Amino acid sequence: MPKFLIPAILFSLFFSSRAPAQTELRFVTWTSESAKVWAEIIADFEAAHPGVKVVQEVGPSSSTEFHDLVTQKLRNRDPQMDVFFMDVVWPAEFAAAGWALPLDNFFPPAEQKQFLDAPILANRYGGHIYGVPVFVDAGMLYYRKDLLEKYGFAPPRAWPELVQQAKTILARERDPYLTGYSAQFKQYEGLICNMMEFILSNGATLWDERSMRSTLQHADAKEAVRFVRDEIVGAIAHRGVLAYQESESLALFTQGRAIFHRNWPYAWEVANDARQSKIAGRVGVMPLPAFPGHKSASTLGGWQLAISRFSRRPELAWQFVQFMTSSAMQKRISLSMGRAPARAALYRDPEILRRYPQFESQYQTLVRAVPRPRTPVYLPLANIMQRYFSSAIALRDSDIDGLARSAARDMDRVLDLLRDRSAR
Amino acid sequence: MNKIREPVWRFLLPSFLFVGVFSLYPIFESFRLSLYRMILTLPWLGQKFVGLENYSDLVTDPVALRSFGTSLLFVAVTTPVEVLLGLGMALALNETFRGRGWLRAVVLIPWAVPTVVTSQMWRFIFNDRYGVFNYLLFGDATQLYWAPLAEPGLALMAIMVADIWKTSAFAALIILAGLQGIPGELYEAAGIDGAGAWQKFRHITWPLIRPALLLALLFRTIDALKVFDLVFVMTQGGPADATNVLQFYGYKKSFAEGMIGYGSAIAVAVFLVSLALALVYIRVLGTGLLRKERAA
């Protein structure tokens, strides 16, 4: 290294460290499909708060990978992160670990009532509230209205019916590009959301929160998993779905290459945007099917804003959270991105309903969406389930009984860690 | 005597400090943590000393054992291929021809690109609908397209291919350095004695680059054992856990699940296996060097 470089570097370090006269607020977020809207909203916040600069740190859009980024900062007590996005399954973990700031003083129950119940409940842990919902998600079934009409099919209410319709359409269309079902079956968090919907809509559960035992080895749960392996993956869907997250599965659908597609509410806007979708205007959406004799189930998803306990400016951070989750901003985010808002009143907002008539019917699905169990050990349990589900459906001759038994045993061992607390 | 030694120690101190702070301390700390049960998301459990319990759990954990097998398979396939390809590249680059300097720089590009970018690129190449891999294999017959990253039997191979593409250049770099250390007179003399190209390689090049080859082998083995970023970006350990290498499993335990004790035990296990392999190589490499000194 040339000799002059060292003083040059020291010089620049010295000066850069004393540069900011502004207050910086760091917001850790993920890659958004509408980065421009975010930038505009943040600019508005900055305009309303002179001297404040919001620095966006953009992480991966996969929940699993984003979790690793955020928890790394929290574990290191990084004061650089003030506000961050929190997936609906993390509040219990972040609260128990002492990472998320309790927002009780900022976010009183009267204000909480303005939001849908399910996401508020998901943000509570141990009698405190840790996040403010920005938008809610629930699994929905998208379908090709034109193809179903062509063959005289009504939108399927039962899974076997969906498979039958897909098989018929595939056989008659003889289109080598077309596949029956596109969803998220990669080994990651989205896999749990998808599999949970199959399992719950067969009258089973992932685990029993009262007895704190896994229920994956129950016959109904295994039957749903077997159905996905035999009737969906490698049957009406092509095996590529085993590597798909949201974006890949949606791309297949918007390219007109899938008859049915499971995704969150935002997919509606993308699928009907003629600039990025070949099937705009030919899309239908409905609640997910169920197995005969059972009720449809949607996994509750969604994102909240939370404040790091290690933030040096919690007051300012709250102002930012309040601004981002205000009725006006939620409406704006909703209108521009097609995301389902977390505030209940917006589902009666004429402007939103005119633009997104589907929200009126989706409202029921969103309200009834089932949260994944709230527990500080969700991540260890999720990794066991991801491994189990992926092994069970990716191998054509998987031993589902054996895999379910060992997954349940592993989950029970993790759940036992929680018993220690009640014993104390 | 003392007067001479004292300044020597003073000069060595910075490097000892560096190794101590950045190598020995983390290793020691990982080992210490691996003796505790410590779960970040359950702070009320505290930090409980459990002795070797994490290690006894580790050797009976079927997921860990399978991950270890996956890691070893990864090492066993990628390392020899990379070193052989590296050898071929180094031999070619050692010849004098027009544009050699340029080509030497180009060959290093895959190695210089950040692994995360490489991984993302290979994820696209192996995409089941628009990947170049499928296009080269099947052209427009998309119904035949494979999904390598979705097949438990192929996903690890796909990651191996990405790793080989990326790091063969690194092996080539080390071997090339070894080749350049061989004096030209040896070849001249052999030429005068009537040796052909193969004989020159067999009796001059091969014995003299063996230390460089073993060094390349050593570096590649340890790196392959620690493969993480390719898995993280390309598959996240799936499908069916087929690409869940030990290092990735340990990362998941420590960093996603907050199981610091168990995660540290895995880290220590990876370290010990690396160390054991390194010692084996150094023995082989060391005896090789000793023999040559005696010959000289």
Shared domain check, A273 and A143: yes
The pLDDT value recorded for residue A260 is: 98
The pLDDT value recorded for residue A423 is: 43
User: A381, A209 in Cβ contact below 8 A?
Assistant: no
Give the count of beta carbons closer than 10 Å to the beta carbon of residue A361.
12
* Residue of B229, B245, B257, B259 best to disrupt the A interface, most CBs of A under 10 A: B257
Provide the shortest C-alpha distance from residue B122 to chain A (in Å). 13
Shared domain check, A91 and A58: yes
For A71-92, how does the pLDDT look when each residue is reduced to its tens digit (9 = 90+)? Answer: 999 999 999 999 999 999 999 9
Q: Which of residues 249-268 of B touch A (CB under 8 A)?
A: 252, 255-259
Shared domain check, A177 and A112: no
B86's CB contacts (< 8 A; 6+ apart) are B168, B169, B170, B171, B172, B173, B174, B175, B216
Cα gap A202→A226, rounded to integer Å: 12
Q: What is the ipTM of this complex?
A: 0.88
User: A82, A73 in Cβ contact below 8 A?
Assistant: no
DSSP A260: E
B62·A418 Cβ contact <8 A: no
B241·A238 Cβ contact <8 A: no
User: A67, A94 in Cβ contact below 8 A?
Assistant: no
Please name the amino acid found at residue A205: T
Structural domain boundaries in chain B: 25-295
For A260-304, how does the pLDDT look when each residue is reduced to its tens digit (9 = 90+)? Answer: 999 999 899 899 999 999 999 999 999 999 999 999 999 999 999
The pLDDT value recorded for residue A193 is: 97
Q: How many residues would you count in chain B?
A: 296
The pLDDT value recorded for residue A19 is: 47
Chain A residues lying within 8 Å of B44, measured CB to CB: 421, 424
| Domain contains A2 | no
CATH 3.30.565.10 fits domain B25-295? no
Chain B residues lying within 8 Å of A380, measured CB to CB: 257, 259
Shared domain check, A148 and A54: no
Tracing tokens 């001059």 back to the chain, one arrives at B204
B60 and A CB contact within 8 Å = no
Shared domain check, A239 and A386: yes
| Domain contains A266 | yes
Shared domain check, A254 and A157: yes
Domain boundary among A368, A391, A414: A368
B240 and A CB contact within 8 Å = yes
B57 and A CB contact within 8 Å = no
User: A172, A151 in Cβ contact below 8 A?
Assistant: yes
The pLDDT value recorded for residue A5 is: 53
The pLDDT value recorded for residue A187 is: 95
Angle at A402 between CA A396 and CA A408, to 5 degrees: 120
Helix (H) or strand (E) holding B48, with range, is strand B48-49
Chain B residues lying within 8 Å of A377, measured CB to CB: 39, 41-42, 257
User: A370, A358 in Cβ contact below 8 A?
Assistant: no
The pLDDT value recorded for residue B295 is: 44
Shared domain check, A349 and A250: no
The three-class DSSP label of residue B179 is: helix
Provide the shortest C-alpha distance from residue A249 to chain B (in Å). 11
| Domain contains A9 | no
Q: Which of residues 358-417 of A touch B (CB under 8 A)?
A: 376-377, 379-380, 383, 386-387, 390-391, 394-395, 398, 406, 417
Rg over CA atoms, chain A: 23
- The per-residue pLDDT string of chain B (296 residues; one tens digit each, 9 = 90 and over) reads 455 666 788 888 899 999 989 989 999 999 999 999 999 888 888 889 999 999 999 999 999 999 999 999 999 999 999 999 999 999 999 988 888 889 888 888 999 999 999 999 999 999 988 889 999 988 888 778 889 999 999 999 999 999 999 999 999 999 999 999 999 899 999 999 988 889 998 999 988 998 899 889 999 999 999 999 999 999 999 899 999 999 999 999 998 999 999 999 999 999 999 999 888 888 876 665 545 544 44
| Domain contains A283 | yes
A67 and B CB contact within 8 Å = yes
| Domain contains A101 | yes
The pLDDT value recorded for residue A22 is: 82
CATH of residue A85: 3.40.190.10
Cα gap A85→A70, rounded to integer Å: 9
A263's CB contacts (< 8 A; 6+ apart) are A139, A140, A142, A183, A184, A246, A249, A250, A253
| Domain contains A5 | no
Provide the shortest C-alpha distance from residue A215 to chain B (in Å). 20
Long-range Cβ contact pairs of B54-63 (< 8 A, separation 24 or more)? B54/B261, B54/B262, B54/B264, B54/B265, B55/B265, B55/B269, B57/B262, B57/B265, B58/B262, B58/B265, B58/B266, B58/B269, B62/A406, B63/A387, B63/B241, B63/B244, B63/B249
Provide the shortest C-alpha distance from residue B39 to chain A (in Å). 9
Ranges of residues in chain A whose predicted pLDDT is under 70: 1-21, 33, 420-424
| Domain contains A15 | no
Shared domain check, A400 and A364: no
Tracing tokens 């189930």 back to the chain, one arrives at A297
How many CB pairs below 8 A link A and B?
119
Shared domain check, A223 and A131: no
Give the nearest chain B residue to A255 (CA atoms): B129
B238·A252 Cβ contact <8 A: no
Q: Which of residues 132-161 of B touch A (CB under 8 A)?
A: 141-143, 145, 147, 149-152
**A323 is in which domain, residue-wise?**
21-137+301-368
Shared domain check, A219 and A163: yes
B70 and A CB contact within 8 Å = no
Domains held by chain A: number = 2
B239·A252 Cβ contact <8 A: no
